[in-house]
Structure 1
Amino acid sequence: MPMKGSVASSRPSINNDVKTFLAAWNKYGAKRYVGLTVGNEIYSDTLNNVVAEVDDVRNQLRAAGVQTLVSTSHTWVMIRDNPTILCRTDFVAANAHAFYDTNTIAAKAGDFVFKVVVPALQRACPGKQITITESGWPSRGSTDGLAVPSIPNELSALLNLNCACRDDTSISVYAFEYDDQDWKDDDDERSFGISGKLNFGDIFAQC
C-alpha cells in the first residue's frame, strides 16, 4: 500500500486500498498473499505514526476475518537501528541492497544479505519472520567504492542472491525489480530493472 506525505493525509487512500485488498482476498483466497506492507521507506512521517497505521490496517483485516500478516517495509539499517518500533509489526520487511554498501562487489550481493543483513535483523528482532522485500543491483549510474553499476554486475549480483537463497530457504528474498523506473531521481535508482536486460534463465542458472 503506497503512502505519500503524512499518515493522516494518506489514510483515505490507505483505507480504500484495504477495501481493494479485501475484495481481492475474497475473490482469490488467502494463499495468494504472503503479507501486506503499508508504505515503503517512509521518511515523511514518524516511525511511530507509520507503525500505528500498520496496526490500524491489521485491525481492519482482522475484523473482516483476514489473518494476512501486515508490516511496513524499510531499509534494513533503519530497522536495525529502531527495533522497538519497527519490530512491532507482524513480520520484518527489509530492503537490503548490497550496492549501497561501498565495500561489497556485485558477486557478493547474496553473501551481504545473508551474512550481514539477516544476522543483524535477527539480533534486532529476535523470533520475527524476516522477509527481504527488495534486493538487486543497478545496471547504470555512478560507481561508489567497490559498487560498480553495469549489466554484467547486475547479473552477477542476482546470481549470487539466488544461490544464497538456495543455501538458506528460511528467508524469502524478492528481486528488485521487474523493469527500470525512469521517473526516479538518478541513474542508480532508475536502473534496477531486470526485464529487457537479463535472461531469467541465466539468473536461475545452477550455482
Structure 2
Amino acid sequence: MKAGLLTIAALSALAVAQPHRPGHRHLHGKREVVTETVMATATAPHAVVYVDGNGNPMYTSYDNGRKYSHPTPNSHARPWAEENTSAAPEETTEAAPAPEPTSETSNYVAPAPEPTSETSSYVAPAPEPTSETSSYVAPAPEPTSETSSDVAPSPTTEAPAPSSTTSETSAAPAPTTTSTNSGSSGLSITYSPYNSDNSCKDQDQINMDMAQLSGYSMVRTYGTDCNQTATILNAARANGMKLFAGIYDISNVNSEIDNIVDATNGDWSDIHTIAVGNEGVNNGQYSVDDVVSALGAARSKLSAVGYSGPIVTVDTFVAMIANPQLCQASDYAAANCHAFFDGTITAQDAGKFVVAQAQRVSEACGGMNTMITESGWPSQGESNGVAVPSEENQKAAISSLKDAFSDNLILFTAYNDMWKQNNAGTYGAEQYWGMYGNAPSD
C-alpha cells in the first residue's frame, strides 16, 4: 500500500496522502482522541478539506473549537480526520511507497545484518535466526505454548526492562530471534481511565478494569490528567505489569513530568517507557521541531530526577517514515499503525500489514528498533473499503497481529471508549475498538 503524509498551510494546495491510516488514529488525550486515517487532509486555520486518492475533495470540516479522536484516548486514525485547529507545518513530505511483501509470512526485518535463511525476523545485530520462518520478538524468555488465537493474550513474562541509559541510541526495546510467534508473551495493551460522561475513574474502578488485563506485560496510557499515572501505575503493579506512561500536552512538558515524578515517588522500576506526545505531527498539532525540542527538555528533566529508561515520541507510521527526526530523537522508534484505516486490508491480513509498516519505519529510521504502540480493529462501525468492523473481524485481526508479533506490540485497546466522539474520518467506529467490550467498571 502506498503511504504518504502531507501537511499544507493553504486550502488551495490540496495534496494526497497515501493510505495508511493507521493514520487515523486516535488522539489520546482526555477528550481529544483521534484515529489514523487513510485519507489525506489539507488544512487551514479554520477548515479541513478531505480528499480521495485522486485529489478530489470529499468533504470539508470546520473548526468548532473541539478536537476529535478515534482510537486513543487512543490514537487510531491518524491522519484520521481530526479537525485541526492550528496551522500545518510549512514543509511537505511524502513517504516512499511501501515495498510489497515477499511472502504471506513476511516478517519484520531490520536492514542489517543480512539474513542467513530464507525468511528471517527483525533482529538487533544477530544472533542468527534458527528457522526459516521467524517472528518479530523482544528479548523475553521463550513462551511455553505454540500459538494462541484468543483475543486476550496471556503472556508469561514482563516487558523488556528499561534501558539503563538516557542516550538517544538506547537499544530498548531490543528484539532477538526465535521461531514463529509462540503464544502472546510480551504483548501489551492500551487503557484510558474515563467514564462515558468524560469524568475520571477512581482507583477502585481502575483496579476492577485492570484486573481483567493482568495477562499482559505492559499497559499504555496517554496523559497525566485524572491522576492516571498514579492510579494506573498502582493497578499495574498489583497485576505484575509495567507502565508505558504518556505525556499528551508537550507544550507544558515540565508540568507533565512533575505529575509523573509525583506519581512514581522516585521509584521508576515499573516504568517501561515515557512517551512525549502522541501523533502530534501527523495531526498538524505540532511541528517536528516542536516535538524534538520537547523530547530534549523531557530527557534533561527526567535525567535530573533519576529516570534512566527509554524516552520516545509516538506518531503514526506515516509521520515517522516522512520525518525520521522523530525516531532519531527517541530511544527507539514508536509508531501507531492500524490496518483498518488503509481500506485495502482485510482483518485476516492485519498482522502482515502492520509488520510490513514496522519494517518500513525501521528502515526509514536507519535500522532502529521499532515498537508498534497501537494496533487493533473496531467491532462496530462503517466499512472502510474491504476493512469491515465486526466482532468476528476484530477477533481475526487481533489473532493475525498476535501471529505476527511476539513482542514490541501494544494492542488497541482494552475497552470501548464511550466518552469519545465520531467524525467523518472515524467510520462511526471511534468508540468500539475495545477488545473486551465495555469496561467492567462501566
Counterparts of 1:69 and 1:141, CA distance in 2: 36
Paired residue type of 2:337 = A
Q: What secondary structure does 1:119 align onto?
A: helix
Counterparts of 2:412 and 2:391, CA distance in 1: 14
Residue 15 of structure 1: how far off its partner (Å): 2.0
The equivalent residue for 2:329 is: 88
Residue 111 of structure 1: how far off its partner (Å): 1.1
Q: How does 1:1-207 map to 2 (within 5 A)?
A: 2=29, 11-12=251-252, 14-26=253-265, 28-30=267-269, 32-42=270-280, 43-114=284-355, 116-166=356-406, 169=407, 172-182=408-418, 183-186=420-423, 187-196=428-437
Residue 100 of structure 1: how far off its partner (Å): 1.1
Paired residue type of 1:129 = N
Residue 16 of structure 1: how far off its partner (Å): 2.5
TM normalised by structure 2 equals 0.40
Native 8 Å contact 1:2 1:38 kept in 2: no
Native 8 Å contact 2:416 2:437 kept in 1: no
Q: Any unmatched runs of 5+ in structure 2?
A: 1-27, 33-84, 87-248
The equivalent residue for 1:201 is: none
Paired residue type of 2:421 = K
Residue 110 of structure 1: how far off its partner (Å): 1.0
Counterparts of 2:415 and 2:300, CA distance in 1: 34
Native 8 Å contact 2:250 2:276 kept in 1: no
Native 8 Å contact 1:133 1:173 kept in 2: yes
RMSD of equivalent CA atoms:
2.5
Calculate percent identity across the aligned residue pairs: 30
Native 8 Å contact 1:47 1:86 kept in 2: no
Residue 134 of structure 1: how far off its partner (Å): 0.3
The equivalent residue for 2:123 is: none
Native 8 Å contact 2:292 2:325 kept in 1: no
Residue 26 of structure 1: how far off its partner (Å): 4.0
* Greater Rg by CA: 2
Q: Any unmatched runs of 5+ in structure 1?
A: 198-207
Q: What secondary structure does 2:405 align onto?
A: helix
TM normalised by structure 1 equals 0.81
Q: How many residues align?
A: 189
Q: Looking at both structures, which has the greater relative contact order when contacts are Cα pairs under 8 Å and sequence separation is at least 6?
A: 2
Native 8 Å contact 1:51 1:86 kept in 2: no
Residue 132 of structure 1: how far off its partner (Å): 0.7
